Amino acid sequence: MSATGSGPVSPPADAKAIPWTWDPTVPAGNEVMLDWLPACHFAFHQRADGAAELRAERPVGVPAWVHAIPAGVADSASLAFHEGRLYALLYRARVTGAILWSLDATTGTRDFEVRLEGIGPLHHSKYSNRAQLRFIGDSPVAFGDESGGRYVEVRDPTDGHLISNRVDRA
């Protein structure tokens, strides 16, 4: 069964077999919107005070649910919807690393939060980081592009545990 119990599970993808690519059509950045249904969309918004919000909004602009993200946790995100769940890859554009959230799309209940392995910790005074999230089969796959290198990381959709990771150092 799939992560939501609605069908067969495709085998997990292996990061070593996935070419690193950047898809410009994937919603990512500090102002991100992802349409879900005609009646709802998901949005990540970076606020002026450094904090951020992840929310589900109805057409009239009334949030169905909102998650506040404290300043310093994330200033950018990439969003993906799969089998009733919203997956949010949260990151900071000038700091290494990313965090993956899985949420029930209807209620906003968070199922898990995991820190990606990515390329690992680095210390540098000038750093850039961008990431995007896509699904390959039933697995959320993060594609990261950092000053220290690029990575492909495959996670389990049910609890976020690491399936595989590949790092290509700069």
Quote the pLDDT of residue 91.
93
pLDDT band at 1 (very low <50, low <70, confident <90, very high): very low
Containing 129, the helix (H) or strand (E) segment is strand 129-136
What is the mean pLDDT of the segment spanning 57-74?
86
Quote the pLDDT of residue 124.
62
Which amino acid type is present at position 85? R
**Residue 16 backbone dihedrals phi, psi, to 5 degrees:** -65, -25
- Assess whether pLDDT exceeds 70 at residue 125: no
- Assess whether pLDDT exceeds 80 at residue 135: yes
How many other CB atoms are there within 10 angstroms of residue 44's CB atom? 27
Distance CA 103, CA 55 (A): 11
What is the mean pLDDT of the segment spanning 49-57?
92
Q: If you average pLDDT over every residue of the chain, what do you get?
A: 87
Distance CA 2, CA 91 (A): 27
pLDDT band at 77 (very low <50, low <70, confident <90, very high): very high
Quote the pLDDT of residue 33.
86
The class of domain 26-169 in CATH terms is mainly beta
pLDDT band at 4 (very low <50, low <70, confident <90, very high): very low
User: So where are the chain's domains?
Assistant: 26-169
Distance CA 134, CA 140 (A): 6
Quote the pLDDT of residue 3.
41
Return the minimum-mean-pLDDT range out of 52-61, 116-125, 157-166: 116-125
